[in-house]
Structure 1
Amino acid sequence: MTGLRGILEPPVDAGTLPGAVALVARGDAVEVAAVGSCDARGGAPMARDTIFRIASLTKPITAAAALLLVEEGALALDAPVTPWLPELADRVVVRTPSGPVDDVVPARRPITLSDLLTFRAGYGFPADFSLPAVGLLFSELLQGPPQPQRVAAPDAWIEALSGIPLLHQPGEAWLYNTCSDILGVLIARVAGQPLARFLDERVFAPLGMVDTGFAVPAASLGRFTEQYRAAADGSGALEPVDARDGQWSREPAFPSAAGGLVSTVDDWYAFARMLLAGGTLPAGSGRLLSPESVRMMTTDWLTPAQRAGGELFLEGQGWGFGGSVDVRVRDPWNVPGRYGWVGGTGTAAHLVPSTGAVSILLTQLELGGPTPPPLMRAFWEYAANG
């Protein structure tokens, strides 16, 4: 077996992965492979237009949406977000990350849009999930694996967040995930419309991303995957997590800008091509973003200490706006400047501005933790080296 199919077929044949769809583009050469089935019972075969829960591949799209508002002058990168998120005014910070949540000090400054885009606002996941302030993100906000029908509506969600102290001072440390969900609430309030509608009108429609959204329409459920996790006993058996007609079959109360979207390989590829073209829309039909916005998205903003603090998630990578940035060649798949991210539902998407390469892997098997699985690493090596 050669090519993408040679990467995807072994775990499918072994029964440890129901199926996958992958795309690798090197310039104008595009290779796509669809292997296996949409469910573990041998149902509909995977196809190029199969729809997946893309989880944290939502984050770069959210960052781009925020930058649209910056370019319009509705937001400024270094300005406080409290005019639109008054719930986050007068923040307090735990005196020490491991300390009790009622032992706090005032935040030295307000949270800015730049803090949210770079994940340095003080909210999110560190390496130690057992810290008291982090525990509240799980218990009060249901942060973690996407579960769209269980999370409160945006106003109630941000109100609950206001009762949780920051883990670090704004701008001090990189913390995973929560900042993207805050961005989603911010975008909706600044735009004066629900986040889903803003993304539909301002991002998905211009890019032709016809299968991307926070829910799957009834007419498209036949192309939607079921979601699984590996059994905890290490047997390789698959346990169902969400059915085709489950949590994504109707619009959620809380559209998670951190991990709530569904999409296809070609939809995310359209988004990647826009970034590679410096923000230009297909066929030169105008711009979605300016080249400067794209440059900021795909630039590492972290200090060496902040990268080291995020090692559990970043593995030595930096962080741009909504996605990681490879800052050094450490492994066969690392390419300096590669931008993108992975999703906890078993997805990954990256692009390399210097070469025009794009790699997208969509599966329906949850990751067992922050460390990418062997299949994902093999896919990255193939995308980097052929």
Structure 2
Amino acid sequence: MRYLIVSLLFFACTATDPATVSSPTTDSPGGPRYSLGQWSFHRALFDGEMDNFDFVATAGEMDFDGVELVNQFFADRATDAAFLDSLRAAADDAGVALTMLLIDGAGNLGDPDAAARDSAVARHLEWVAAAERLGIRDLRINAHGAGTYEAVLDAATDGVGKLARAARESGVRILIENHGGWSSNGTWLSTLLQRLEPEAVGAVADFDNWCYQRDNGQLWGGKCTARYDRYKGMQELMPYAGGVSVKAFNFTADGAETVMDFRTLFDAIRASGYDGYLGIEYEGDSLPAREGVEKTRALAERSWPRNTVVTPTARERIDSTLRGFVSAGDIAGVSALVFEKGDEAYFGAFGQSDREADIPMQRNTIVQIYSMTKPITGVALMQLYEQDKFELDDPLADHLPEFRDVRVYVSGGGSAGTMQTRATSRPILVRDITRHTAGFYTGGDPDGLQQAFVAADLRSYENTLTTMGEKLGQLPLRSDPGTEWHYGPSVDVQALLVERLSGQAFDAYLREHIFTPLGMNDTRYVVPEADRDRFSAAYRRDADGTLTQLPSAEAHEFNLRQWPLTPGGFGLTSTLDDYMTFARMLLNGGSLDGVRILQPETVRLMRTNQLSDEVTERLWLPSKGQVGFGIDFAVRQRPPATAAENPGKVGEFFWDGAASTLFWVDPANELAAVLFVQLFPFDQIGLHHDFRRAIYGPFVPLPEAAR
């Protein structure tokens, strides 16, 4: 039994650097600001039926707040000061702001030839000067170039980086659009943006333009042979977005777009906290341009607001769902708390925290949160990141020398000294321990490594974090760093890193810098004697449905006394209100009730996917839904494809615990939810799925054409 509990502590849940933007936007009577994309009228402009001044005047007549100019319509006027001044004056007269200048035809900033790249930078700088004269802050560029994924990525990092550094002196920000070639691959472009984060390069997230390979080998024109998922792509780009292209082509009878689900795309926008202009662009050919623009904006205006999620009907569903699990004997007791738009939207507690002692489940019941400790550890680590104590791409050994000589397992067994190993392909980075890609062994095959792992006794409560780190650093890795997602001791290493960088014991650090400031007085490793009457019992549900209470001395062993080990990956206990305080702090961009724990941009970094598509081995992470992984959170990248998949919203971030606890933060709807139960094995009864479904309502699949 003790081995079972200790295993669950370490491997809970195994059953199953962006540009700055503001915190999540709330609905206001005026809604967002809309700008009009000049490309919407490209036919009239190319045909000579409209000129640039007519376009600006039209935008004013249509009551747009701004316009996005395209240099193709005045390609020879980059240095024509009189023209540029007149165009700026025309915008003033029309009452619209010049919000962005889109640049095409100025050379490839990702060209494999360095001289050609430098030439493209020089040509783009002419347009930087034009943008400065027009009073435009944002310049949209393309990251095009011929070559392989990595080759163009390296070349674009150089070319765009040079341009951004020069443009910054003029007060102009460089934005890259998903606009053909590798730039239409969301992983590729988000990787480029991450590399260019020091240069403050952002993105223009376009609803369309997700084809990154065509049969003619060109950017445009040929049949698409490789298309990136638009919903995942938008979720990946929005943390970096300085602009959004709300694009439509064709409409259904009720005004929806025929191949894009605007509601889901707007979930990604709302979740990111984006508060810039929404650029309206109509590219269809079935309607006159002006009518198409109006219908696109009408659809955007309909898609922006967020209706109340936890309605009276939803509260009845939640009550019925949770009560039903108790009545069926699947769980002894359960409680849940939901906040929406800053207010408590739901609380319910059903059944008993200790069935044998007839103690009801209550709001102040203390539970073991197991791996829901991990996000708290991540917040502690990222506080030190904000203090410039480390960079995510620092080699871990720069701060923890215990990991300087790690090697990768090849063959053999028994002990570390008799195994065959090889050098790692690269060092473990700090980033790796925040996303479970360090390569640490987590159990199972191969047998030889398993024997060494057991002999090291990493799981002993008598280990300090330093002792645990020393032992782990002597074990071979199961894979090269950065290549596989394997859940394991990475977050315990984060706790060690917090100790080493802060000079404080980890539990003391948590109390001083997170728990006490937030008033989380019931969140701790050791439950004092006076509070143990509130400590929930733990239960095991057997395959036949029998629910058995685990002996308290074993189930609660870690939390009844102070052990040398203060792990980052498990071990804390908490109450509903305490953990909701933590969740609301995250939802609010790092602060709550005047107390700031993290900066908004740091929270956004934590909830931004850090796994590239090249990390294909992800253990059981896909069982959580269509998710990526940020810094100690899973991140939902796409809406559920089936009714069986766990419900949730794009942009949501979440985690759970071995005793089937769960929390999530849904920024799009300004909602946070916490579910407490003490059930082993990890949720095999569909509790999480049904609780989520009770909150969000019946499954509504994406229209087939929009998937």
TM-score by length of 1: 0.89
Alignment of 1:198-347 (within 5 A): 198-231=509-542, 234-243=544-553, 246-280=557-591, 282-285=592-595, 287-306=596-615, 308-315=616-623, 316-330=626-640, 331=645, 333-347=647-661
What's the counterpart of residue 379 of structure 1?
691
1:360 aligns to 2:671 (yes or no): no
What's the counterpart of residue 111 of structure 1?
428
Q: For 1:202, what is the secondary structure of its paired residue? A: helix
Q: CA RMSD for the aligned pairs?
A: 2.5
CA distance in 2, matches of 1:96, 1:212: 43
Q: For 1:2, what is the secondary structure of its paired residue? A: helix
CA distance in 1, matches of 2:696, 2:412: 38
**Residue deviations 1:244-273, cap 9 Å, x none?**
864311122211211111111111111111
Task: Report deviation, 1:230.
Answer: 1.7
CA contact 2:332–2:354 (8 Å) conserved in 1: yes
Moved more, 150-159 or 189-198: 150-159
CA distance in 2, matches of 1:11, 1:42: 20
Moved more, 97-106 or 209-218: 97-106
CA contact 2:336–2:576 (8 Å) conserved in 1: yes
Task: Report deviation, 1:288.
Answer: 1.0
CA contact 1:345–1:363 (8 Å) conserved in 2: yes
Q: For 1:23, what is the secondary structure of its paired residue? A: strand
Moved more, 237-246 or 106-115: 237-246
If asked which structure has higher relative contact order (CA below 8 Å, sep 6+), I would say 1
Residue identity opposite 2:445 in structure 1: S
What's the counterpart of residue 499 of structure 2?
188
CA distance in 1, matches of 2:413, 2:620: 17
Shift in CA distance, 136/339, structure 1 to aligned 2, threshold 3 Å: farther
Task: Report deviation, 1:314.
Answer: 3.4
Task: Report deviation, 1:275.
Answer: 1.1
What's the counterpart of residue 438 of structure 2?
121
Percent identical across equivalent pairs?
Answer: 30
Aligned length: 373
CA contact 1:94–1:167 (8 Å) conserved in 2: yes
CA contact 1:90–1:107 (8 Å) conserved in 2: no
Structure 1 stretches of 5 or more lacking a match? 144-148
Residue identity opposite 1:263 in structure 2: S
CA contact 2:537–2:549 (8 Å) conserved in 1: no
Task: Report deviation, 1:334.
Answer: 2.6
Q: For 1:382, what is the secondary structure of its paired residue? A: helix
1:72 aligns to 2:387 (yes or no): yes
Q: Whose radius of gyration is greater, 1 or 2?
A: 2
Runs of 4+ that moved beyond 6 A: 96-101
Task: Report deviation, 1:168.
Answer: 1.3
CA contact 2:656–2:663 (8 Å) conserved in 1: yes
CA contact 1:338–1:351 (8 Å) conserved in 2: yes
CA distance in 2, matches of 1:135, 1:335: 42
Moved more, 188-197 or 28-37: 28-37
Shift in CA distance, 215/329, structure 1 to aligned 2, threshold 3 Å: same
CA distance in 2, matches of 1:384, 1:182: 36
1:140 aligns to 2:456 (yes or no): yes
CA distance in 2, matches of 1:11, 1:257: 31
CA distance in 2, matches of 1:245, 1:103: 39
Task: Report deviation, 1:284.
Answer: 2.4
CA distance in 2, matches of 1:137, 1:103: 15
TM-score by length of 2: 0.50
Residue identity opposite 1:79 in structure 2: D
Task: Report deviation, 1:294.
Answer: 0.4
What's the counterpart of residue 146 of structure 1?
none
Residue identity opposite 2:532 in structure 1: L
**Residue deviations 1:85-143, cap 9 Å, x none?**
21111110123899997121112332221111111111154xx8333335644553455
CA distance in 2, matches of 1:245, 1:90: 37
CA contact 1:121–1:170 (8 Å) conserved in 2: yes
Alignment of 1:142-161 (within 5 A): 142=458, 150-161=461-472
CA contact 1:124–1:179 (8 Å) conserved in 2: no
Task: Report deviation, 1:326.
Answer: 0.8
Q: Which of 311, 317, 320 in structure 2 is aligned with 1:6? A: 320
CA contact 1:141–1:151 (8 Å) conserved in 2: no
CA contact 1:52–1:262 (8 Å) conserved in 2: yes
Task: Report deviation, 1:52.
Answer: 0.5
What's the counterpart of residue 350 of structure 1?
664
Shift in CA distance, 182/258, structure 1 to aligned 2, threshold 3 Å: same
Q: For 1:304, what is the secondary structure of its paired residue? A: coil
CA distance in 2, matches of 1:117, 1:312: 17
CA contact 2:414–2:452 (8 Å) conserved in 1: no
CA distance in 1, matches of 2:604, 2:441: 25
Moved more, 8-17 or 264-273: 8-17
Shift in CA distance, 31/230, structure 1 to aligned 2, threshold 3 Å: same
**Residue deviations 1:187-228, cap 9 Å, x none?**
112111111000000011111111101111222111111112
CA distance in 1, matches of 2:451, 2:672: 36
CA distance in 2, matches of 1:65, 1:314: 27
Bigger share in helix: 2
CA distance in 1, matches of 2:454, 2:567: 14
Structure 2 stretches of 5 or more lacking a match? 1-314, 699-707
Q: For 1:68, what is the secondary structure of its paired residue? A: helix
